[in-house]
């Protein structure tokens, strides 16, 4: 394992949360395997994200949301030692974009926070959503709730902000570690997926518009 990125990923570190796994034998596990097989076969990412015939959209989306959470979490974890209260006192994506945190508990109004504090709250919040059985049911046949897709849109919009911050403020670290291609592939996979199912407003994608145009078209 000579790749420093992989070494970072497999080192146990506080920034790497336990992965939400799919139980073998379940429909979700089979879908996860199908999605992984497409990626491993080098299938065009635009095609890999499409809903397989006969599969349920909510199940397909649930599998990908969990997978993107795990991947983005690892990407941020690899650069987190360089993302500090001092280096990133504001959660931003360049001078034009500042992201404020809001939730149902402590931060009821949008609040300016440092990037590491924002990331911590974000990862905790997403983890709580995907481990909530009422929202992400794991039993086959249990219907998804009406607020599933609205919540997914919120999760993915917030995960996109991690890409924005990493690309704009920490890309030198990514390049230095030799993991540029890996991060770019993760981003393209994420981008094609949210576009395929209209899961993020176009205006949210604005900060990486130029880079995305070069990379994904």
Q: Tell me: is residue 165 an annotated ligand-binding position.
A: yes
Full 3-state SS string of the chain: CCCHHHHHHHCCCCCCCCCCCCCCCCHHHHHHHHHHHHHHCCCCHHHHCCCCCCCCHHHHHHHHHHHHHHHHHHHHHHHHHHCCCCCCCCCECCCCCECCECCCCCCCCCECCCHHHHHHHHHHHHHHHHCCCCCCCCCCCCCCCCCHHHHHHHHHHHHHHHHHHHHHHCHHHHHHCCCHHHHHHHHHHHHHHHHHCCCCCHHHHHHHHHHHHHHHC
Rounded to whole angstroms, the Cα distance separating 132 from 128 reads 6
**Angle made by CA atoms 99, 102, 103, in degrees to the nearest 5:** 145
58 is in an annotated binding site: no
- How far, in whole angstroms, is CA 172 from its chain's centroid? 20
Note whether 138 and 28 are within 8 A (CB): yes
170 marked among binding-site residues: yes
Residues making up the annotated binding site are: 83, 88, 165, 170
Residues making up the annotated binding site for Zn(2+) are: 83, 88, 165, 170
């Amino acid at each position: 394992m000579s790749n420093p990125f992989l070494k970072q990923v497999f080192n146990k570190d506080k920034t790497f949360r336990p992965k939400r796994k799919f139980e073998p034998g379940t429909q979700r596990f089979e879908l996860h395997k199908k999605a992984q097989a497409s990626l491993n076969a080098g299938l065009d990412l635009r095609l890999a994200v499409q809903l397989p015939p006969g599969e349920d959209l909510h199940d397909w989306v649930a599998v990908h949301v969990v997978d993107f959470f795990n991947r983005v979490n690892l990407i941020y974890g690899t650069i987190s030692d360089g993302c500090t209260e001092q280096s990133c006192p504001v959660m931003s994506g360049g001078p034009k974009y500042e992201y404020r945190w809001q939730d149902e508990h402590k931060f009821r109004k949008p609040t300016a926070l440092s990037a590491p504090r924002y990331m911590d709250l974000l990862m905790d919040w997403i983890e709580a959503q995907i481990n909530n059985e009422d929202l992400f049911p794991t039993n086959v046949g249990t219907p998804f709730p009406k607020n599933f897709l609205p919540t997914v849109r919120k999760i993915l919009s917030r995960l996109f902000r991690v890409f924005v911050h990493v690309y704009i403020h920490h890309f030198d670290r990514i390049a230095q570690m030799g993991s540029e291609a890996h991060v770019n592939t993760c981003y393209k996979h994420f981008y094609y997926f949210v576009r395929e199912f209209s899961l993020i407003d176009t205006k949210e994608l604005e900060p990486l518009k130029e880079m995305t145009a070069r990379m994904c078209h």
